[in-house]
Amino acid sequence: MGTDTQKHATIHRTGLRRRPIGLFGGAALAVAGTAALIINLGAPAAFAAEAPVGLGAVASYSVLGGETVTNTGLTVLDGDLGTTPGSAITGFPPGIVGGTTRVEAAAADAKASLLVAYDDARSRATTASVAGDLVGQTLVGGVYTASGPLAVSGTLTLDAQGDPNAVFIFQAASTLITASSSRIALLDGASSCNVYWQVAESATLGTNSRFTGTIMALQSISVTTGTRVDGRALARNGQVSLQSNVFQSTTCVTAPIISTPTDTATPPGTGTPTDGGTGGPGTPTDGGTGGPGTPTDGGTGGPGTPTDGGPGTPGNGTPGTGTPTDNGGVLIVPTSTRGPNGGGNANGNSPDSLANSGADSAANGWIGVTALGLVIGGLGLAGVSLRRRENARTKA
């Protein structure tokens, strides 16, 4: 780039222009700068979003050559095929063209669009400088400029950081060469439709590699055996050579966006509530939202065994019976009305009271017999005394 272009790139990156700064303006900038430093502390670098490179009429092409297009083997193109100002296209068939094949004047509008797109990509202000082999790197959206050749010997990762509109532009001052089995990987929303390679000389893609993006080379492009291209091979002046390749250009290949959970809480497990509450999964200590457990407070623990005896069975007592002595009297033992359950009377008296009742009745019977005997004996003695008095009177 020239001096003017570098100045323009610096202005584009920073978004600042030189202006007089007064006392208060300087203080304000100092405060703003401090705040920005605090806000961005520890955050990954982010660049202003780039607009996609406008492809115009060449967007429908998988392959466009300046001189010729040659193919060996079964190459499949899902878009258009063309060359201009050259007219030679060989190897189709067996190659398959999913779109339309155009040569010379029929492809002139595509060639004009390629010239504009190439100049647009080359003029973009630099986000960061890169050099040599990009293997193992992870790059976010932006414009990456190399002052010499670029290479990819393994995997290069393009990370959109969740923005499906992120644009990646690579500016190579000379060649672009990828190794066999190399890969341009997309991450977190990155799309193959938003990846552009502006190459000032020629590009070569290694065998069985997987390349992502639209190559716009000033000279020629060589796509070797077994390589898959999620994008386009567009050569301004030279030829494009193909060997059993697959091109997907009309449909974007987009990496899924990685969703980052905002709630880092760990879902609770299944626990046993301690208060007998009912709930769903959890390890609650109050049972409010816990799983079904064994209540420890008896609140819902089912019927228990009463400790007050409840309705019990009274003991069976045997009433006592007296055996009266026959002294001329007759002992009548009252018959008690016995209650249910073998012993209690109708009034709920225990069997002991019934036995005592029998004993008392027997005692009363003995007293009655004794009194009756005394009366009878007295009467007998009185009768004997009267007879003796009468006999005495008679003898006198």
pLDDT tens per residue, range 3-44: 443 333 333 333 333 333 343 344 343 334 433 333 333 334
The more confidently predicted of residues 393 and 32 is 393
The more confidently predicted of residues 45 and 5 is 45
Quick check: 221 pLDDT over 80? yes
| pTM (predicted TM-score) | 0.57
**For residue 257, what pLDDT is reported?**
94
Q: How many CB atoms lie within 10 A of CB 350?
A: 15
3-state secondary structure of 371: helix
**For residue 58, what pLDDT is reported?**
98
pLDDT tens, position by position, 204-216: 999 999 999 999 9
**For residue 293, what pLDDT is reported?**
44
Dihedral sign (CA 341, 346, 350, 351): negative
pLDDT bracket for residue 49 (50, 70, 90): confident
pLDDT bracket for residue 1 (50, 70, 90): very low
pLDDT tens, position by position, 317-351: 455 454 444 444 333 334 333 334 434 343 434 33
Q: Which of 119-128, 275-284, 303-312, 326-335 has the highest mean pLDDT?
A: 119-128
Distance CA 342, CA 314 (A): 8
Quick check: 294 pLDDT over 60? no
Quick check: 363 pLDDT over 60? no
**For residue 316, what pLDDT is reported?**
52
For the chain, the average pLDDT equals: 72
Residue 368: both structure tokens together: 């009655």
- Choice among 50-54, 238-242, 266-270, 384-388 with the minimum mean pLDDT: 384-388
Q: Which residues pair with 133 in a beta bridge?
A: 151
Q: What are phi and psi of 203, to 5 degrees?
A: -125, 140
Alpha helices in the chain (DSSP H): 3-14, 23-40, 108-123, 340-343, 351-395
pLDDT tens, position by position, 165-205: 999 999 999 999 999 999 999 999 999 999 999 999 999 99
